Amino acid sequence: MKKFTFISLFFFLLLFYLSIIFFKIADNPDFCSNCHFMKPYYDNWVSSSHNTVPCYKCHYGPTFKDYIGGKFRLLSEILRYSAGFYSREIKTKVKDEVCLSCHKKEEFLEKEIKFTEKGISFNHIFHLNDKIDNLNFKCQNCHSE
């Protein structure tokens, strides 16, 4: 019985250790570019203003629970991809709370943004007020790429 307990504990610790290694490796954005169909998304991220922010910071969510859930979803996606059951249509959702954890809402309320190539002036105040909340309007509606 002691031998079984020792072996079980050994495999549990090994699995725990390998999980930590996987979590750390998968935190690196280069990990995402390993799948050939992720390459355009990775290249887009590299050339974006968010290229110093690891993918998981936005795609998993703001809490530790979101982080762990994201890692299990990632593992599931890797397994489906390896088995050939992966859908190449990527529909990722980034929660507004994630965007607003770095981009403070107050910074946008009075700020006028100029689109120089079109000469259009834009203000977020109409998109960040309480009246639009019931329309289910999200940051990602406009800022998807």
Checking DSSP bridges between strand 112-115 and strand 120-123, what pairing results, if any? antiparallel
pLDDT tens-place string over residues 38-77: 888 888 888 888 889 888 888 888 889 988 998 888 888 8
Please give the Cα distance from 126 to 112 (Å, whole number): 12
**Residue 119 or 62, more confident:** 62
pLDDT tops 70 at residue 3: yes
Instruction: Select the more confidently predicted residue: 18 or 118.
Output: 18
For residue 50, give every residue at least 6 positions away whose Cβ sits within 8 Å of its Cβ, in sequence order, or none. 58
pLDDT of 6 > 70? The answer is yes
pLDDT of residue 89: 67
